[in-house]
DNA sequence: CGGCCATTTGATAGTCATCAACTACCGTGG
DNA sequence: CCACGGTAGTTGATGACTATCAAATGGCCG
């Protein structure tokens, strides 16, 4: 143990209860109740320090890593050397879960703070996949991941900066709520502005400015990494605002005109 | 047959030889040689007319459709109604091949011209997947698709317009070459400018202007849908140009500085 | 031949990247 | 405990890039 001081993640969270492997894990929520009957999994736990990779892109994908505590980002590096954050992971998410039995990790996963992951060998995973119930759940997770990535593509490809950011905030808040039950809109941005910017295809300055702007119109309150959503509906209207946001590319489900204020509101506050 | 006049795709191409199912298909390349021993597939062939969907997003994914002739685009519509083209398919590609055994098509596939597809039921597919050789090939295709989408995300998220377009052109030319063997850089853009724009997260005007610009510097020759790449290296340098292109987001494999001319060249020609 | 759509081209403005200080925060070491 | 240095974040000024608006042109089908 060479590390003198490891700031542990503040989320003293019930990560395991949302874990894909929860039902079959013998380690989960130790103390709360005895290992459920039929538990077959006793994954090793690993501590990853801030900035360290859980795994690197291109390395043999031999293990999947449910995130137990902390948070991580997924980073993709294109053949030409472009890097981009493709997603953030929170406790309960599974890192390294590659679709199509990919032999290599398609992205890297980097800890955004000191974090704890479990290490599940792919062989174990494969065995588990034999069980229909688990299989369905696992596939559902992968499908959601794919969907997420596609939504991101559309966002980056055809929405304006404020919309993209609003989208992210709402998403993060949703995830946080799903995990902690807190409905007060409080959330901690574990990632630096740079990473948010990368994910959204913006610059950190733009992200910073937008956060300030959102705050100045009373949509949110921010102080560094601490953020509280004050007006979720307002954010949603910015996110959804069809008229104002488009970068033109086709879109036609012209429902959703019920909103429409947020964007303007926010744009005008830019004095 | 209600259709009076169906312009058949000009590509009188050897589509089948590149098809994923080629080895196990009894219909492939009929005439050239007798169906190979062990062929188990006799897929129905369907004709799809320009603008018609091969399948729609969200519908039960019961069939995969190898594209036999013609071309198609994949269109994703986000929950909020944003549409974006996520890829183009050429003969030999397989439409509707969903990863993770998705129960529904995650995108729509729309014919860009009158096209012919084969219809392979997923059950057949599942059976075939039992054979290791086929399985590997199929997974490889899916993996390539995923990779493609990720590259697109990075492109849209952090490259400038000229780079994105150069990328697309090189990609299309590569595909065309792989199929037809033509190395002369000639290619037919089956898709309208709008679709290119959507894919790349741009507007059709920008695409049009860029094509003109590329042409004016002698990189390509365009006339409507007919395009010829004159200077592949030049395009590649625009695509790869790290210094000029970045939208800043982190990137550090600073190799590739060998190029660097193309971007400037093209920028200056913009008088 | 006329109408319609795709594409090109031009003019203009908006958004957002870029450059440049400046400030706040955090861990370190005195 | 407090000064220090470095990183993360904010804010401002400026301009590049590209969306947007507006015609004009060209091609294709009926």
Full pLDDT tens readout for chain A, 271 residues:
444 444 444 444 557 888 999 988 887 655 555 555 566 788 999 999 999 999 999 999 999 999 999 999 999 999 999 999 999 999 999 999 998 888 999 999 999 999 999 999 999 999 999 999 999 999 999 999 999 999 999 999 999 999 999 999 999 999 988 887 777 889 999 999 999 999 999 999 999 999 999 999 999 999 989 999 999 999 999 999 855 544 444 343 333 344 445 555 665 554 4
Q: Measuring from the CA of residue A191 to each C1' atom, give the nucleotide at the shortest distance.
A: D8
A254 to chain B, closest Cα gap in Å: 7
Q: What is the structure's pLDDT at B2?
A: 42
Q: What does the pLDDT look like over B98-145, one tens digit per residue?
A: 988 889 999 999 999 999 999 999 999 999 999 999 999 999 999 999
Question: How many domains is chain B partitioned into structurally?
Answer: 2
Report if residue B222 sits inside a domain: yes
pLDDT: which is higher, B255 or A19: A19
Q: Is the CB of A271 under 7 A from strand D?
A: no
What pTM, to 2 d.p., does this model score? 0.88
Report if residue A3 sits inside a domain: no
pLDDT: which is higher, B12 or B60: B60
**CA/C1' separation B192–C6 (Å):** 8
Q: Which residue of B has its CA nearest to A147?
A: B106
Burial of B86 (0-12, 13-18, 19+ CB in 10 A): buried
Q: Do residues A121 and A170 both lie within one domain? A: no
Q: What is the structure's pLDDT at A79?
A: 93
Q: A115, A48 in Cβ contact below 8 A?
A: yes
What CATH number is associated with residue B257? 1.10.10.10
Q: Do residues A140 and A201 both lie within one domain? A: no
Q: What does the pLDDT look like over B174-224, one tens digit per residue?
A: 998 888 777 788 999 999 999 999 999 999 999 999 999 999 999 999 998
Report if residue A7 sits inside a domain: no
Query: Do A149 and B150 lie within an 8 Å CB cutoff?
Result: yes
Which residue among A100, A134, A155 closes a domain? A155
**CA/C1' separation B6–C9 (Å):** 33
Q: Do residues A56 and A139 both lie within one domain? A: yes
What CATH number is associated with residue B100? 2.60.120.10
Q: What is the structure's pLDDT at A205?
A: 97
> Strand C: which bases are under 7 Å from protein Cβ?
6-11, 15-20, 24-28
DSSP-assigned letter for residue B100 = G
CA A20 to chain centre: 15
Name the A residues in 96-155 with CB < 8 Å from any B CB.
99-102, 106-107, 139, 142-143, 146-147, 149-155
Report if residue A220 sits inside a domain: yes
- Quote the CA–CA distance of B212 and B269 in Å, as a whole number: 10
> Nearest to residue A235, comparing CAs of A184, A176, A164, A175?
A164
Report if residue A2 sits inside a domain: no
- Quote the CA–CA distance of A151 and B247 in Å, as a whole number: 21
Report if residue B1 sits inside a domain: no
Q: Do residues B140 and B174 both lie within one domain? A: no
Q: Do residues A20 and A145 both lie within one domain? A: yes
Q: Measuring from the CA of residue A160 to each C1' atom, give the nucleotide at the shortest distance.
A: C15
Q: Which residue of A has its CA nearest to B252?
A: A81
Q: Which residue of A has its CA nearest to B80?
A: A240
Q: Binning pLDDT at 50, 70 and 90, where does residue B226 land?
A: very high
Q: Give the percent of chain B with pLDDT over 90.
A: 68
Which residue among B129, B153, B177 closes a domain? B153
Q: Do residues A53 and A183 both lie within one domain? A: no
Pairing label, strands B115-121, B63-69: antiparallel
Which residue among B100, B118, B153 closes a domain? B153
What is the DSSP annotation of A195-251? HHHHHHTS-HHHHHHHHHHHHHTTSEEEETTEEEES-HHHHHHHHH-HHHH--SS-B
Q: Is the CB of A247 under 7 A from strand D?
A: yes
Q: Could you tell me how many CB contacts below 8 A there are between chain A and chain B?
A: 152
Q: Do residues B164 and B145 both lie within one domain? A: no
Q: Do residues A113 and A82 both lie within one domain? A: yes
Whether residue B1 is predicted with pLDDT greater than 80 in this model: the reply is: no
pLDDT: which is higher, B44 or A2: B44
> Any CB–CB contact under 8 A between B239 and chain A?
yes
Mean pLDDT over B225-248 rounds to: 82
Report if residue B233 sits inside a domain: yes
Q: Do residues B85 and B128 both lie within one domain? A: yes
Q: What does the pLDDT look like over B72-106, one tens digit per residue?
A: 999 999 999 999 999 999 999 999 999 888 899 99
Q: What is the structure's pLDDT at A258?
A: 41
Query: Do B149 and A151 lie within an 8 Å CB cutoff?
Result: no
Query: Do B249 and A77 lie within an 8 Å CB cutoff?
Result: no
Q: Do residues A173 and A111 both lie within one domain? A: no
> Any CB–CB contact under 8 A between B208 and chain A?
no
- A196's CB contacts (< 8 A; 6+ apart) are A165, A168, A189, A202, A204, A207
Looking at beta carbons, which residues of chain B come within 8 Å of A161? none
Domain ranges, residue B55:
15-153
Q: Do residues A73 and A173 both lie within one domain? A: no
For chain B, the average pLDDT equals: 85
Report if residue B164 sits inside a domain: yes
Whether residue B4 is predicted with pLDDT greater than 80 in this model: the reply is: no
Whether residue B256 is predicted with pLDDT greater than 50 in this model: the reply is: no
Looking at beta carbons, which residues of chain B come within 8 Å of A107? 150
Candidate from B82, B154, B200 with C-beta closest to A76: B154
Q: Do residues A126 and A169 both lie within one domain? A: no
Query: Do A78 and B151 lie within an 8 Å CB cutoff?
Result: yes
Whether residue B225 is predicted with pLDDT greater than 50 in this model: the reply is: yes
- B180's CB contacts (< 8 A; 6+ apart) are B11, B13
Q: What is the structure's pLDDT at A102?
A: 87
């Amino acid at each position: 143990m060479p590390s003198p001081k490891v700031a542990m993640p503040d989320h003293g969270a019930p990560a395991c209860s949302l874990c894909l492997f929860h039902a079959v894990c013998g380690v989960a929520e130790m103390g709360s109740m005895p290992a459920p009957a039929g538990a077959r999994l006793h994954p090793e736990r690993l501590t990853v320090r801030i900035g360290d990779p859980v795994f690197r892109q291109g390395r043999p994908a031999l293990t999947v890593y449910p995130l137990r505590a902390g948070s991580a980002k997924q980073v993709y590096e294109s053949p030409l050397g472009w890097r981009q954050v493709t997603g953030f992971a929170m406790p309960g998410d599974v890192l390294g879960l590659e679709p199509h039995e990919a032999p290599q990790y398609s992205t890297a996963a980097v800890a955004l703070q000191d974090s704890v992951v479990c290490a599940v060998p792919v062989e174990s995973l494969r065995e588990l996949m034999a069980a229909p119930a688990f299989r369905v759940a696992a596939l559902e997770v992968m499908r959601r991941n794919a969907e997420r990535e596609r939504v991101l593509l559309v966002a980056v490809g055809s929405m304006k900066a404020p919309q993209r950011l609003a989208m992210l905030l709402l998403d993060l808040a949703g995830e946080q709520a799903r995990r902690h039950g807190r409905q007060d809109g409080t959330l901690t941005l574990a990632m630096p502005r740079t990473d948010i910017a990368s994910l959204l295809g913006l610059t950190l300055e733009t992200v910073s400015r937008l956060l300030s702007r959102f705050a100045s119109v009373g949509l949110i309150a921010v102080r560094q990494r601490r953020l509280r959503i004050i007006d979720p509906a307002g954010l949603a209207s910015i996110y959804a605002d069809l008229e104002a946001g488009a970068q033109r590319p086709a879109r036609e489900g012209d429902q959703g005109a019920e909103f429409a204020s947020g964007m303007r509101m926010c744009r005008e506050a830019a004095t």
